[in-house]
């Protein structure tokens, strides 16, 4: 029986652990927070996951919230009119083919950790550093480090060529609420872009106290949406959230008349630079460790892809481990496994990083024309499920124009 150790009980590491257990591998999962610490702790993410990523969990039989989690049925996009801020310059929305879901990680991860033990996995509570990595890498045939944004992931070398930013590009905040007015017709991720200020998006979710909505704020540092650094209480964080919406996005502010925080831990503020790291870590002893998930590819949440990427990575890594059979998990295999994932993730990173900068002509053409073209709006909405479909149009104006024309023609033919 092959022995694999996974460090980090999060969205990336856990599905691999379940998949290997299923196939009879000897799997140890090292993580530094107990199920109860996670349940009682602060929210960590907004974790909206699209169908391809959810399918990874469904295949492993760890999709325990499919019936309970409110569906996210579409994507909406709004751009306020700078001359008349209470009106919109652009406004479109489209249903997506299959719904997305956002189950609070405080609900999901503790259940997964407990289920992992029930299915025969070894769960070890330990804060892993270099000494522990040495010990683990000696004992196991393969060691995967999927420790998210934990300090230990800094051991992986930053890949400067793939990391255009060395500072956080947004001041981030999350506000989990009950009582938000739903959107008419279909539920959605409602994206709002305010040039020079930042972005706000909101969507339904499932938290510890039942269905809720998650507000995500992305403030350009130093601007009026960078307002969550010194909050004095959960209530203060909520009030700053709502007052921003009333001032800058009144149609979203109107939905907030009856909101309250889901719980005293239902908010978060922070920032980090989007970073890609080299996936193979060589320990002082010469032993090697493979990185996955946020540990090696951490994106700004602006496109909501981190958990989706983590699930996609889990499938790629799992397939690669199983395909390896009895052969050694050597450096070349590790690099190849990551490269296979990067074929997908590289495009997600390119799209996400582009959203942090002023829009290119091609992106503007796509987003602008979607308002008058339901087919284009539908194409863009479904791209959240697989952002690679956005290329080359997202970055190449002739391709964008070609796509816009093709979808318009299809629309006319269908009418």
Ligand X SMILES: Cc1cc2nc3c(=O)[nH]c(=O)nc-3n(C[C@H](O)[C@H](O)[C@H](O)COP(=O)(O)OP(=O)(O)OC[C@H]3O[C@@H](n4cnc5c(N)ncnc54)[C@H](O)[C@@H]3O)c2cc1C
Question: Which stretches of the chain bind ligand X, using CB under 6 A?
Answer: 7-13, 30-33, 45-49, 127-128, 146-150, 152, 172, 174, 216, 293-295, 301, 304-308, 310
Pairing of strands 267-270, 171-178: antiparallel
Nearest approach, Cβ of 376 to ligand X (angstroms)? Answer: 23
Nearest approach, Cβ of 199 to ligand X (angstroms)? Answer: 12
> Based on CB atoms, which residue is closest to ligand X, 122 or 364?
122
> Based on CB atoms, which residue is closest to ligand X, 92 or 201?
201
> Based on CB atoms, which residue is closest to ligand X, 313 or 365?
313
Q: Where are the alpha helices (DSSP H) in 100-195?
A: 105-118, 130-139
3-state helix, strand, coil in the chain (%, to 5): 40, 25, 35
Structure tokens at 1: 């029986």
Please give the Cα distance from 97 to 387 (Å, whole number).
14
Nearest approach, Cβ of 110 to ligand X (angstroms)? Answer: 10
Of 337, 335, 332, nearest to 320 (Cα)?
Answer: 337
> Based on CB atoms, which residue is closest to ligand X, 11 or 143?
11
Nearest approach, Cβ of 266 to ligand X (angstroms)? Answer: 13
Q: Return the sign of the alpha-carbon dihedral for residues 7, 56, 208, 121.
A: negative
Beta bridge mates, 267: 175
> Based on CB atoms, which residue is closest to ligand X, 292 or 371?
292
The count of other CB atoms within 10 Å of the CB of residue 233 is 10
> Based on CB atoms, which residue is closest to ligand X, 279 or 306?
306
Please give the Cα distance from 291 to 12 (Å, whole number).
10
DSSP for 386-403 reads -GGGGTTTTT-HHHHHHH
Please give the Cα distance from 53 to 98 (Å, whole number).
12
Nearest approach, Cβ of 116 to ligand X (angstroms)? Answer: 12
> Based on CB atoms, which residue is closest to ligand X, 174 or 194?
174
Nearest approach, Cβ of 325 to ligand X (angstroms)? Answer: 26
Tokens 């969507």 locate to 203
Nearest approach, Cβ of 86 to ligand X (angstroms)? Answer: 27
């Amino acid at each position: 029986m092959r022995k694999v150790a996974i460090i980090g009980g999060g969205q990336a590491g856990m599905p691999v652990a379940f998949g290997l257990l299923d196939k009879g591998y000897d799997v140890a999962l090292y993580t530094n927070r107990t199920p109860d610490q996670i349940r009682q702790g602060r929210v960590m993410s907004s974790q909206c996951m699209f169908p391809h990523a959810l399918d990874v969990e469904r295949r492993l039989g760890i999709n325990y919230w499919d019936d309970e989690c409110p569906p996210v049925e579409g994507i909406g996009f709004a751009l306020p009119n700078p001359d008349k801020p209470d009106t919109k310059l652009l406004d479109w929305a489209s249903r997506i083919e299959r719904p997305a879901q956002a189950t609070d990680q405080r609900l999901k991860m503790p259940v997964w950790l407990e289920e992992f033990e029930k299915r025969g996995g070894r769960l070890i509570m330990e804060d892993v550093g270099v000494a522990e990595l040495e010990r683990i890498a000696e004992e196991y045939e393969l060691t995967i480090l999927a420790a998210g944004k934990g300090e230990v992931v800094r051991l992986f070398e930053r890949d400067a060529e793939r990391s255009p930013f060395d500072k956080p590009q947004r001041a981030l905040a999350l506000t989990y609420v009950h009582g938000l007015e739903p959107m008419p017709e279909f539920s959605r991720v409602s994206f709002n872009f305010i040039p020079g200020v930042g972005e706000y998006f909101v969507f339904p979710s499932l938290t510890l106290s039942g269905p809720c909505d998650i507000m995500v704020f992305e403030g350009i540092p130093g601007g009026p949406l960078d307002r969550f650094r010194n909050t004095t209480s959960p209530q203060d964080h909520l009030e700053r959230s709502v007052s921003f919406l009333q001032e800058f996005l009144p149609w979203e502010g109107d939905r907030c008349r009856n909101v309250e925080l889901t719980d005293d831990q239902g908010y978060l503020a922070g920032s980090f630079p989007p970073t890609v790291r080299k996936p193979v870590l060589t320990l002082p002893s010469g032993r090697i460790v493979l990185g996955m998930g946020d540990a090696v590819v951490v994106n700004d949440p602006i496109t909501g892809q981190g958990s989706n990427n983590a699930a996609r990575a889990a499938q790629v890594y799992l397939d690669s481990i199983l395909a390896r059979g009895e052969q050694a998990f050597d450096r070349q295999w590790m690099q190849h496994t990551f490269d296979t994932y990067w074929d997908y993730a590289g495009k997600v990173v390119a799209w996400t990083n582009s959203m942090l900068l002023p829009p290119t002509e091609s992106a503007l053409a796509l987003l602008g024309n979607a308002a008058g073209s339901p087919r284009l709006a539908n194409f863009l909405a479904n791209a959240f499920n697989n952002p690679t479909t956005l290329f080359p149009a997202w970055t190449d104006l002739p391709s964008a124009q070609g796509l816009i024309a093709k979808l318009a023609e299809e629309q006319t033919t269908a009418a």
